[in-house]
Structure 1
C-alpha cells in the first residue's frame, strides 16, 4: 500500500521540467491534499466537510471525477503514514502567487466551517499551513473573516 501511495504522489506531485500546465496540475493536487488533510484535523470526518472538499476541488481545480475519487482514496491512506505537510506546501510555495495562497486559505476555511464550527485543531492546522506557505498573518485573518462573514 505504501508503495502505491508513494508512486501516486511521485507521479502526481513531483515537479519536473514538464510543461507549465502539467506543473500547475501537480501543484493543484498538492492543494487538494491539504484540503483533505484538514477534514481529518478534528477527528470527526463529516459528510458535509467531504462535500465541501469535493465542491472546492471541482470548482477551483477542475478535477475530473476519477481524479477526485483517486486522490481522496489515496489521501485517506496517506493520512495514516504522513509525518509532514512539507511535501505539499513546498509545491504551493514554488508555484502559487500570494493571491492563489489567499484563495487556498479561504478554501481551507470553507472546509473548516462546513460542519458549523471551527475546532481548535482545524484552526491550528490552517495556521500551520499558512505559516508553511509563507502567507502573512493578516491573510490568515482576512481569509477566515471572509469565509465566516459570508
Structure 2
C-alpha cells in the first residue's frame, strides 16, 4: 500500500500557482483530506493508518517536521470544514487523468483495508468519491477486490458489491 501511495502522490502537481492562495486548490491538500476522511469514516483512527499516511506524505514531498505537520493540518482542517467532498474531488478531477483517478480510488481502498476491515461508512465514502471523480463502478469494484486480496486477514468479502 505504501509504495502505491508514494508513487501516486509523487505524480501530483506541487503547490497551486502563486496567484492562487486557496489551499483547497492544492491537489496535495485535496488528496490528504480525502484520505483522512476515509480513514476516519468508521469513527476509529488506527495508529498504523496515521503512521502510514504521515510517512507517505513526508517521503513523497521530502518534507518533515513543520512542513509535514502543516500539510497534514491543512488536510485535517479542510476535511473538518468541508460541507461535502466536492471541494476535494473537483480539484483531483482537474489534475488527474482517468488512469490516475482509478489509481487514487485503489489507494483509498488500501487505506480502508489498512486496519484489516471494511466498514460500511468507509465503503460509502469511496463510492461517493469514485462517482465524483468519474471512476466507473467496475473499476471501483476491481480496485476494492485488489485491495482486499492484498491485505492479509482482510475482513469483508472481496467479491460482494
State the TM-score, normalizing by the size of structure 2: 0.71
Q: Which residue does the alignment assign to 1:13?
A: 24
How far off is 1:48 after superposition? 1.4
Q: Which residue does the alignment assign to 2:130?
A: 130
Q: CA–CA distance in 2 between the matches of 1:44 and 1:146? A: 23
Q: CA–CA distance in 2 between the matches of 1:75 and 1:95? A: 17
Task: Provide the aligned C-alpha RMSD in A.
Answer: 2.1
Is the partner of 2:69 in helix, strand or coil?
Answer: helix
1:87 aligns with 2:98: no
Q: Which structure shows the higher helix fraction?
A: 1
> Which consecutive unaligned segments of at least 5 residues does structure 2 have?
1-19, 151-161
Alignment of 1:1-150 (within 5 A): 10-14=21-25, 26-58=26-58, 61-62=60-61, 64-65=63-64, 66-150=66-150
Q: CA–CA distance in 2 between the matches of 1:67 and 1:140? A: 33
> Which consecutive unaligned segments of at least 5 residues does structure 1 have?
1-8, 15-25
Q: Deviations over 1:28-59 (max 9, x none)?
A: 33112110111110111111111232244346
Moved over 6 A (4+): none
Q: Deviations over 1:106-141 (max 9, x none)?
A: 111111111111111100000000001011111101
Q: CA–CA distance in 2 between the matches of 1:55 and 1:98? A: 26
Query: Cα gap change, 1:123/1:56 in structure 2, threshold over 3 Å: closer, same or farther?
Result: farther
Q: Deviations over 1:38-87 (max 9, x none)?
A: 1110111111111232244346x435224332122233344433211111
